[in-house]
Amino acid sequence: MIRSWSTIAVSLAAALSVLPAGIVRAELPDSPVKSSAASCARPDFRVVLDVGHTAKSPGAKSARGADEFNFNLRLAKQIDHALLEAGFAKTVLMVTDGPGTRSMYARVARTNELSANLLLSIHHDSVPDRFLEKWDYNGKPEMFSDRFAGHSIFVSDDNLDPKDSLLFGSMLGKQLKARGLQYTPHYTESFMGRWRRTLLDADAGVYRYDTLFVLKKTQMPAVLLEAGSIANRNEELVMASPERQQLISAAVVDAVDSFCAAQSHKPALQIAQRSKVRHVLSAHSHQRTRKRTDSATPLTSVSQSTFDIH
């Protein structure tokens, strides 16, 4: 029998209560990274928070059998709340449904139509299958890997604005680091095979992942955050805690604020030119998306050697 998310959440909360306090939350730094609120027009800056995966295509399984989608949704809702509270009134929480490939095209088309200033896609990490081990949880066989822990940040060089994507990714990574959180370095290792990535910012933990569709096809700076490894039994509990979700949310708010301020210093002509290109590409992308979503055949025949759904 498949357990509901609420039942799993109760089990996670119970297990969490017996962990050492040091595992549950990372302390805020004595001198947090300074934001630039004075030069950021928060009410006019639009962030799209993309909830990774869907209820029908829920992504990875956690060590205790919970769907990644549920972790993504809970964290994204917390970040959405924090951004709105901070004055980013145009923030959009984007939740898509349906099969993975179809929802992938839908989320890209929707994001581009919104003419956002920034896309942040929220995910939680797992590991390649060969690293998984078996264990029993509440009398049910599950899979886990305690080998890796920590967050990771990805950008695509094929994005319309790779430079600003990397800029925001670095800002976010530094805000997470300032709060005591560490990124995972294992994506640089040869044993990762096809999942091996180039580390662009060794201080902030930003990797290059050109074929991630949501990063490649959106027409604004775009970053994907793997908030932590839910295949790791301890980190799964940490990621389910309100304390960690609030900590990550605070880091996102400060990073968005700094990025917004940096964008406000750009020449008006440069911003207008990017908006014009975005408008032309958006119209073309919308036409292609409608053709794909009108027929199931092109969707199921897409080659994933060209891009990754994630």
* pLDDT at 99 (0 to 100): 79
Question: Which comes out higher in pLDDT, residue 229 or 31?
Answer: 229
**With pLDDT > 90 as the criterion, what percentage of the chain qualifies?**
69
Separation between Cα atoms, residue 159 and residue 167, nearest integer Å: 13
Separation between Cα atoms, residue 168 and residue 297, nearest integer Å: 37
- For residue 50, what pLDDT band results from cuts at 50, 70 and 90? very high
Write out the two tokens for 167.
């800029």
- For residue 172, what pLDDT band results from cuts at 50, 70 and 90? very high
Residue 85 has pLDDT above 50, yes or no: yes
Write out the two tokens for 207.
């990797």
Domain parsing of the chain, residue ranges:
41-294
Superfamily classification of domain 41-294: Zn-dependent exopeptidases (3.40.630.40)
Write out the two tokens for 117.
């200033």
Lowest mean pLDDT: which of 55-64, 97-106, 234-243? Answer: 97-106
DSSP string, 30-49: SSPPP--GGG--GGG--EEE
In terms of DSSP bridges, do strands 118-125 and 152-155 run parallel, antiparallel, or are they unpaired? unpaired
Residue 146 has pLDDT above 70, yes or no: yes
* pLDDT at 102 (0 to 100): 84
Question: Which comes out higher in pLDDT, residue 250 or 3?
Answer: 250
* pLDDT at 98 (0 to 100): 84
Question: Which comes out higher in pLDDT, residue 242 or 297?
Answer: 242
Number of neighbouring beta carbons within 10 Å of residue 242: 12
Question: Which comes out higher in pLDDT, residue 181 or 15?
Answer: 181
What pTM value is reported for the model?
A: 0.80
Residue 12 CB contacts under 8 Å (≥ 6 apart), including other chains: 64, 66, 236, 237, 240
* pLDDT at 281 (0 to 100): 52
